[in-house]
A and B are shown apart, each in its own frame.
Chain A
Amino acid sequence: MSQTIDRPAAGAVEPAARGTETDKSRSERRLGWLLAGPAFGVMLLVTAYPILQALWYSLFDYRLTDPSNRSFTGLTNYGVILTDAVWWNAIFVTLLITVITVAVELVLGFALALVMLQALKAIRPVLRIVILIPYAVITVVSAFAWQFAFDLESGFVNSWFNWIPGITENTAWFGDFGSALFVICLAEIWKTTPFISLLLLAGLAQVPDVLQEAARVDGASWWQRMTRVTIPNMKAAIMVAVLFRSLDAFRVFDSIFVMTGGAQGTETVSFLVYRQTISRLEIGLGSATSVLLFITVVILCVGFIKLFRVDLSQARGGN
């Protein structure tokens, strides 16, 4: 693919700037630091400090209601977590939710992005707003809405869809693992597909029209243009979308907290952190769980970037 146009251009500027730093560029850099510095400091304070504190606490046997008996236990908390089937089950459930929701969202989001791109100019803004509305809804609110819809007592789903085999007036959606997970995934997909479609729209808009035209002139069908031109040219955008959403999906908490409260084996890793830290008040064990969650997310992130060679700084498709 002829995607090399901007590479030399970018490369041509850099050495020149690096070699001769003028007074102007130095003062600009200082201004840059002055402007970004406070935000950087605040970020350090609100993210680095709690992360380090969690790391520190995770090495202790520390109960919030019994601070006087706090004792250093080294890596014991990590041992407890990693040898507990509950942890591995939570990892499995979390991964399952992540894979299902991200896969479905990618397909749906791509379709929505295509619709947004190709819609008539007149209705485009309205369409974008309509598609974005679910994303503007607070997750807890959307979780309650979906829960009420599927609830045996208050829900309408059973009476509307009882023509579908397997759904009756008495279907208890939150009564077993599979159906509860289905509703949780549905709520997540409804809520975050707009996010993924927005990222994909940005990628779609960057596929050069000339390439599409050239393919059309060569007699390529719609499907061929899609698979040979459009998708390869927006690979980076797709990867960024998948990466962001996967990290987001891996931290799923609100929907599960509202809909099942962790019942029917639907506990995720974030939920375990909540239960150890907030319900059990075991700050040590809870911190260790959250550190492990953090490490898992980092591994996921690095794995993604290495495996798919995603370059986050690159807006265009790579080669």
Chain B
Amino acid sequence: MHPRRRLRWSMTIMAAVLAALASACSSGPPGPPVLTWYINPDDGGQDEIAERCSEQSGGRYTIATSQLPREASEQREQLVRRLAAEDSSIDLMSLDPPYVPEFAQAGFLAPMPPEVQARAAEGVVPSAVDGATWQGQLVAVPFWANTQLLWYRKSMVAQMGLDMSQPVTWDQIIQAAQRAGTQVGAQGARAESLTVWLNALIESGDGAVITSENQTDPELVQLGLTAPPAIEAARIMRSMVDTGVAGPGFSTQDEDATASAFQDGRSAFMVNWPFVWGQATSGVEEGTLAPEVAADYGWTLYPATVPGLPSAPPYGGINLGVGAYSAHPDLAYDATACITSVENTAYYMVSNGNPAAKFAVYDDPEVLAEFPMAPVIRQSLTQAAPRPKTPYYAEVSEGLQRSFHPVGGIVPGPTNQAAQDLIQAVLAKEALL
């Protein structure tokens, strides 16, 4: 072929390919709009709910899921970067509650219609409503609500002479475990779980990490880390290590390691999320765990920091946010009604072990059969306190982790002061993290 003709040929082919590509991009698939729901990894429950809601929408929309990374902090990183680039593919997202203020303040969440605000908070546990609220407005829809319980091995605790039907304090369980030569499981790793623990200890002593709620100016954020409740929290954490009840791998111990030490009988107590129950029952079903071990699991409310003062257990879970750049915010908000229905959240709790945010689910016979501790979870969610609510949550949490890790190095008072100074300097952009 003549070179010039060959050139013309290749130009024609290229133009045809480009035209085909362009038409493929612009036309989109026929049928109802597809809502993309960015989900955190689970046991397939959100996929199933997406399918159910697509069917129930009567052809108005279908929901496709897209999976985010495993760690909550990594989920946030990915969502923030996409939303900062005004990604319109995010219609719905499963958001870890501590990041809700950051997303709301940055304008990453579509405004919630008043009727949705009224509906989304109806019959929802107070901690979950609190966790989805920013500046007095509900900005996300509570989907499921997590809380930590105090788990104990009935057989081991029976010999300690501790009455578990009454609220117990951290000091009580630490001393009892020390006398018995066993461990108390908590999360000492430098991770979000350390913030969860510290915050619950402080909140249970009627203190707060951040005392100026709803503050959007980073330099005006007031911290309560040097107040007596926070110093008491530091003392309790340190005593876990000093008494030897923390165990050898405490500085790298996360929720999974805590659960496995409890399962093996290395610890008589642990604070952990209810997933440990699902893990134990499925272990029994699969034959990897002796049934008497699961039968030995006891549970009660999170330990108190101060005797006589009800504890403020950790609150977690997932809220649903609607992306500010979504092409179908109305449909997305409609979809949240279906996703968070009593029926679907009960299914989610039974199948995936994630506790529901709605009170009504805790009366469901199937839920009660699967989770005999459901009433305690419900009570715990009523008492639970969210982590510090601030658009700068990542900085605050990371600053706490840097200062309070390793737990064996905490000096109550000076460590609190160091944490307070570090976080203030970081918020003023005068320090690295």
Contacts and interface: CB of A to CB of B under 8 A. Distances in A.
Nearest to B247: A170
Contact of A175 (B106, B252, B429, B433): B252
A114 B41 CA distance: 48
Interface stretch (B13-21, B163-171, B390-398): B390-398
Contacts of B248: 152, 170-172, 175
A57 B80 CA distance: 19
Interface in B392-430: 394-395, 398, 405-406, 426, 429-430
Given A66-B106, A153-B257, A280 B80 contact: no
A208 interface: no
A80 interface: yes
Contacts of A170: 248-249
B106 A80 contact: no
Contact of A279 (B250, B257, B394, B430): B394
B252 A80 contact: no
A174 B189 CA distance: 10
A278 interface: yes
A149 interface: no
B105 A80 contact: no
Given A61-B429, A275-B433, A280-B395, A172 B84 contact: no
Interface stretch (A126-134, A229-237, A256-264, A298-306): A256-264
Interface in A149-191: 151-153, 170-172, 174-176
Interface residues of A, number: 34
Contacts of B105: 65
Which of B77, B80, B398, B429 has the most chain A CB atoms closer than 10 A to its own CB? B429
A132 to B, nearest CB: 31
A172 B432 contact: no
Which of B80, B252, B395, B429 has the most chain A CB atoms closer than 10 A to its own CB? B252
A285 interface: yes
A80 B433 contact: no
Given A285-B429, A285-B432, A152 B257 contact: yes
B73 interface: yes
A80 B77 contact: no
B433 to A, nearest CB: 6
Given A61-B429, A276-B432, A172 B394 contact: no
Contacts of B394: 279-281
B432 A87 contact: yes
Nearest to B77: A278
A84 B391 contact: no
A32 B120 CA distance: 66
B260 A64 contact: no
A86 interface: yes
Which of B80, B84, B432 has the most chain A CB atoms closer than 10 A to its own CB? B432
A80 B251 contact: no
Contacts of A80: 429-432
A253 to B, nearest CB: 15
A56 to B, nearest CB: 17
Given A261-B190, A279-B394, A172 B251 contact: yes
A171 to B, nearest CB: 8
Given A64-B81, A172-B249, A262 B429 contact: no
Contacts of A260: 190
Contact of B102 (A65, A151, A172, A282): A65
A81 to B, nearest CB: 6
A151 B254 CA distance: 12
A66 B427 CA distance: 14
Nearest to B108: A65
A84 B431 contact: yes
A318 B198 CA distance: 61
A272 interface: yes
Interface string A239-270: 00000000000000000000011111000000
A279 B190 contact: no
Contacts of B398: 275, 279-280
A-B residue pairs, 7 tightest by C-beta: A170-B248, A263-B190, A65-B106, A152-B249, A86-B432, A172-B249, A175-B251
Interface of A: 61, 64-67, 80-81, 84, 86-87, 151-153, 170-172, 174-176, 260-264, 272, 275-276, 278-282, 285, 289
